[in-house]
Chains A and B, each alone.
Chain A
Amino acid sequence: MNLRKYLKVYKKFLHTSLASELEYKTNILVDLITAILSLVGSIFLLSIFFQNNGFIGGWKFEQALIIQAIYTILNGITNTWFNPNLTEIVKHIREGTLDFVLLKPIDSQFFISLKKINPSGFLEIMLGFLLLFFCIRINQINLNLSFLTLSLITISCSICILYSLWFFISTTTIWFVKTWNAIEVLRSFLYIGRFPLSSFSFSLRIFFSVFIPIAFITTIPSEVFLGLSVFWKIFLEIIVATIFLINSRKFWLFALKFYSSASS
């Protein structure tokens, strides 16, 4: 893979999608306002849950805010990259425009996963980081190199898991043509990621760890921030992320053999 070429193409992707989005100024403004209101609403909702005894699943409100911050960052990443690109796969397959992607001398997964960006998602990422820094302060977390490395690794793994899950569902469009509902279900499961895993019953904890690993996405990075995480959990998250990423790739290449293109 020619890394320089891919960087150059990605630069063009950034340029063209920013230019496309900036054609519609009002839409961007509405998206920005929605991002702020959504974060405020989520924090308010979280505070209501903690009003009675101040603890959920052994987590304090200040600690649970870290999960909210990580969720906001991931949601920002989802809105910036995954949503505009991965939902487009369904359209590409239904309308047969995937033909143009497949005939380009560039990796098709790279092309369809990164071609577009939604700039308003950046604000959500920034808000997430602001909330995270606020949480670091109020929870008196000591910032050091190992802490930062572990945080980076776990958040990167969370992004990989989320991307792979979404990409996997979108790929099934090659057979099922319409998979909007499955993506909506995934998004609604993601909302669950705003709460600590320990706040759920045993059976739900198993479900969200094994079948749909939402737990890995927010809880483990948050535990790293609070110094609650144990090594095996981080190791497990790395393994899960690697397996998901490799398999999403394999599944895409396998699915392409069944692509029949839309009739013209």
Chain B
Amino acid sequence: MLQNIIEVRNLSKSFDISSKEPGLKGTIKHFFRRQTKSLKVIKDISFEIKEGEIVGFLGANGAGKTTILKMLCGLIYPSEGSILVSGYLPFSRKNNFLKNITLIMGQKQQLIWDLPPIESFYLNASIYDLDKFEAKKRIKKLSEMLEIDEELFIPVRKLSLGQRMKSELLAALIHEPNILFLDEPTLGLDINAQSNLRKFLQKYNKETNATICLTSHYMKDITSLCKRVICVHEGAISYDGKLDLLLKKLSPVKEILIVCSSEEDAIKLEKSGFTVKNKIKNEITIKIENNSITSSLKTILNNFDIEDLFINEPPIDEVIGKLLIKKDYDI
């Protein structure tokens, strides 16, 4: 049985936030009498993550996903509750703990801007106490996996965003961590670069059994990488479970476009009791519940003259979007 590598119990985090009224008057007031209020951004959350799992954190902007990741890797001190990551209290930031984890942020970079990425890799290697031979071996292996070669020797400032992100990944993985915290790693990347990055993460997870915690606004990242998702709404967990189960529950019906041989058949089908979304000449779109798709299709194929049919999955962005704006979704 797989062991829990991350255990979070009743975790909460509050920040003191100051607010300012608009205009000059507001600015002067803000300067002399700053009004701050304590805002609870994470509210009593609990969850566990098993070794080797890839878990996606879903939520709208400001829901608290990044704050959770930062508490998990020990950057932010929790206000209440407890966290254990790989058996360590993250905020004590013990060296053995730090050697086990990495944080990759799509919006921030650690590479030295004026130098080729290879210089940053060797700097990180010395920080993680790797000898030159081992560092070279790991750089070679990771650069092959990431499909980067010449880019290693070009100053970072001259690399494209995609090349830079790959180099960031290499810099963050040179110490072969077994827990990866990824905060929107594909942000701003083109479709191919996104797809390459996802393939790499899948491969890395498969080869090293690393645990991956990921936040992303690109649903493709979540659907292709994560079997399990944790949905965060206003600092609280609104769903924690399998992604496909969530999608089934959020979208219990499928749309089926049926092309009938004639318009008469389409009219006959329209009157046969199925929920019809629309009908244009001999093409009819009906809605069928997920659990009765097989039997319904059998009935249609046996009783009507059908030329073609298409089963349309509802767009995942739309489905998940519903979840992000609703606090208590019945799931």
**Which of A13, A19, A103 makes the CB contact (< 8 A) with B73?**
A103
CB-defined contacts of B105 to chain A, threshold 8 Å: 99, 264
For B73, B74, B105, the residue with the greatest tally of chain A CB atoms inside 10 Å of its CB is: B105
Using a CB-CB cutoff of 8 Å, which residues 79-128 of chain B contact chain A? 93, 95-96, 98-99, 101-103, 105-110, 112-115, 119-120, 122-124, 126-128
Could you say which of A154-162, A218-226, A254-262 contacts chain B? A254-262
Task: Give the nearest-CB partner of A102 in chain B.
Answer: B75
**Does B218 reach chain A (CB closer than 8 Å)?**
no
Is the Cβ of A104 less than 8 Å from the Cβ of B127?
yes
B-contact 0/1 string along A19-30, CB 8 Å cutoff: 110011000000
For residue B63, give the distance in angstroms from its CB to the closest CB of chain A: 12
Given contacts A9-B126, A100-B108, contact A16 B119 (CB under 8 A): yes
For residue B235, give the distance in angstroms from its CB to the closest CB of chain A: 14
CB-defined contacts of A13 to chain B, threshold 8 Å: 123
**Does A96 reach chain B (CB closer than 8 Å)?**
yes
- Docked Cα-Cα span, A5 to B126, in Å, equals 7
Given contacts A95-B108, A260-B15, contact A102 B122 (CB under 8 A): no
For residue A92, give the distance in angstroms from its CB to the closest CB of chain B: 11
CB-defined contacts of A257 to chain B, threshold 8 Å: 77
Is the Cβ of B103 less than 8 Å from the Cβ of A103?
yes
- Docked Cα-Cα span, A20 to B112, in Å, equals 8
**Which of A5, A11, A100, A259 makes the CB contact (< 8 A) with B129?**
A5
Using a CB-CB cutoff of 8 Å, which residues 123-144 of chain B contact chain A? 123-124, 126-129
**Does B176 reach chain A (CB closer than 8 Å)?**
no
Is the Cβ of A106 less than 8 Å from the Cβ of B127?
yes
Given contacts A95-B108, A264-B66, A264-B184, contact A103 B126 (CB under 8 A): no
CB-defined contacts of B245 to chain A, threshold 8 Å: none
- Docked Cα-Cα span, A62 to B110, in Å, equals 49
CB-defined contacts of A2 to chain B, threshold 8 Å: 129
For residue B60, give the distance in angstroms from its CB to the closest CB of chain A: 14
For A16, A95, A259, the residue with the greatest tally of chain B CB atoms inside 10 Å of its CB is: A16
Given contacts A23-B155, A264-B183, contact A12 B126 (CB under 8 A): yes
Task: Give the nearest-CB partner of A100 in chain B.
Answer: B110
Is the Cβ of B70 less than 8 Å from the Cβ of A104?
no
Interface size on B, residues (CB 8 A): 38
**Which of B107, B127, B184 makes the CB contact (< 8 A) with A9?**
B127
**Does B247 reach chain A (CB closer than 8 Å)?**
no
For residue A11, give the distance in angstroms from its CB to the closest CB of chain B: 8
**Does B300 reach chain A (CB closer than 8 Å)?**
no
- Docked Cα-Cα span, A11 to B127, in Å, equals 11
Is the Cβ of A105 less than 8 Å from the Cβ of B184?
no
**Which of A99, A102, A105, A259 makes the CB contact (< 8 A) with B108?**
A99
Is the Cβ of A105 less than 8 Å from the Cβ of B95?
yes
Is the Cβ of A97 less than 8 Å from the Cβ of B95?
no
CB-defined contacts of B107 to chain A, threshold 8 Å: 264
CB-defined contacts of B98 to chain A, threshold 8 Å: 103-105
Is the Cβ of B126 less than 8 Å from the Cβ of A97?
no
Is the Cβ of B75 less than 8 Å from the Cβ of A105?
no
**Does B148 reach chain A (CB closer than 8 Å)?**
no
Is the Cβ of B123 less than 8 Å from the Cβ of A99?
no
**Does B76 reach chain A (CB closer than 8 Å)?**
yes
- Docked Cα-Cα span, A105 to B109, in Å, equals 18
**Which of B15, B127, B183 makes the CB contact (< 8 A) with A105?**
B127
Is the Cβ of B75 less than 8 Å from the Cβ of A97?
no
Is the Cβ of A12 less than 8 Å from the Cβ of B122?
yes
CB-defined contacts of B110 to chain A, threshold 8 Å: 97, 100
Is the Cβ of A16 less than 8 Å from the Cβ of B99?
no
Is the Cβ of A99 less than 8 Å from the Cβ of B77?
no
Which B residues have a C-beta under 8 Å from some C-beta of A?
Answer: 15, 66, 70, 73-77, 93, 95-96, 98-99, 101-103, 105-110, 112-115, 119-120, 122-124, 126-129, 155, 183-184
Q: A16-B120, A16-B123, A100-B108 are in contact. List 20 more A-B contacts (CB 8 A).
A: A5-B126, A9-B126, A9-B127, A12-B123, A16-B115, A23-B115, A23-B155, A97-B109, A100-B110, A103-B103, A104-B127, A105-B127, A105-B129, A260-B76, A261-B70, A264-B66, A264-B105, A264-B106, A264-B107, A264-B183
Which A residues have a C-beta under 8 Å from some C-beta of B?
Answer: 2, 5, 8-9, 11-13, 15-16, 19-20, 23-24, 95-97, 99-100, 102-106, 257, 259-261, 263-264
28 A-B pairs with CB atoms under 8 Å apart are A5-B129, A9-B127, A12-B122, A13-B123, A16-B112, A16-B119, A16-B120, A19-B119, A20-B115, A24-B114, A97-B109, A97-B110, A99-B105, A100-B110, A102-B75, A103-B98, A103-B102, A104-B127, A105-B98, A105-B128, A105-B129, A106-B127, A257-B77, A260-B15, A261-B70, A261-B75, A264-B105, A264-B183
Q: In the A-B complex, list the 10 residue pairs whose CB atoms are closest, starting with the nearest.
A: A105-B95, A100-B110, A105-B98, A20-B114, A12-B126, A12-B123, A23-B114, A9-B126, A264-B107, A8-B126
